[in-house]
Amino acid sequence: MARYIFSRVLVIIPILLIVSVLSFLFVHLTPGDPIRIMYGADMDMATYAKVKEKLGFNDPIYVQYGRYLSQILSGDFGVSYKTKTNVSEEIGRRLLYTLGLTFASMFWALVIGLIVGIYSAAKRKSLWDRVGIIATTTIISIPEFWFGLMLMQVFAVQLGWLPTSGSGTFAHLLLPSITLGFGVAAIIARFTRSSVLEVLQEDFVRTARAKGQRESVIIWTHVLRNALIPVITMTGLQFGFLLGGAVVVEQVFSWPGLGSYLIDSVLARDYPAMQALILLFSVQFLIVNLLVDISYSLVNPQIRYE
């Protein structure tokens, strides 16, 4: 296992190097002049030239990338063009909010998705199964921003139970986490149902039934061990997407996470912040995929990495 983890970590290094190149080029090729956005379109050309020279924009693109690469290798993501603060400090402050929102959303998704998926598979073609299929299909089709606004209208505006925006308490976390989590729950439920139904057709399940074991014992003891492997893969992918994809929900609920920081950085053409966030989201996704692969052996001890 240790050798496998070490080899996977070595593979991550060239991937991150490629991501850093692509993100740097993508950011610098994005239309818009960050100097004009920061200081206004009416600034005189002399001042514009001085600022451009100070920021290093006159250097060739490969020189700018080399400077950027040396910075991130030293752990320095630079200073924000917009706020004039250290990007690393800003990311560190907002990362906790994004992680809290992601874990809370994934909690709702796993609890609801697994229960609905397993029970729908166990009661295939029943009324519960049909209702579950219709409900999950409907939830997947609903845009997150609309669902969030509807939750806000009902529970915050009309009932007054929860705040409409902000952060700091569990009440602030509830609506955005449900908004994010329900869409993922529907995906996990559909995937769990398909996976459990597939395993239920295996020979060892028929053997267990022939021995007179109860259906609940068969599902929880024999079926889930094999059915959860593809579900874990899907869950890991969804978790990675949640870490970097909560942009819309964070904007709707004014949640001070990395998603809203990315939107503000893009609008301001804040190159250091944009580059750091893209690289961070890539690192998070790679780490989640590694943890997913490791978890396979925990769910099914027959799986071993050599």
- Indicate the SS3 state at residue 33: coil
Cα(279)–Cα(94) distance, integer angstroms: 15
Please determine, for residue 296, whether its predicted confidence score (pLDDT) is greater than 70.
no
For residue 129, the model assigns a pLDDT of 82
What is the 8-class DSSP label of residue 254?
A: T
- Model confidence over 157-207: pLDDT tens digits? 888 888 887 777 888 888 888 888 888 888 888 888 888 888 877 777 777
Q: Which residues contact 257 (CB under 8 A, 6 or more apart)?
A: 94, 95, 97, 98, 101, 246, 250
Sketch out the chain's domains with CATH numbers. Answer: 2-73 (no CATH), 90-299 (1.10.3720.10)
Mean pLDDT of 223-242: 77
Instruction: Give pLDDT tens digits for 92-120.
Output: 888 888 888 888 888 888 888 888 888 88
Amino acid at 23: S
Whether the Cβ atoms of residue 179 and residue 249 lie closer than 8 Å to each other: yes
Per-residue pLDDT at 195: 85
pTM: 0.77
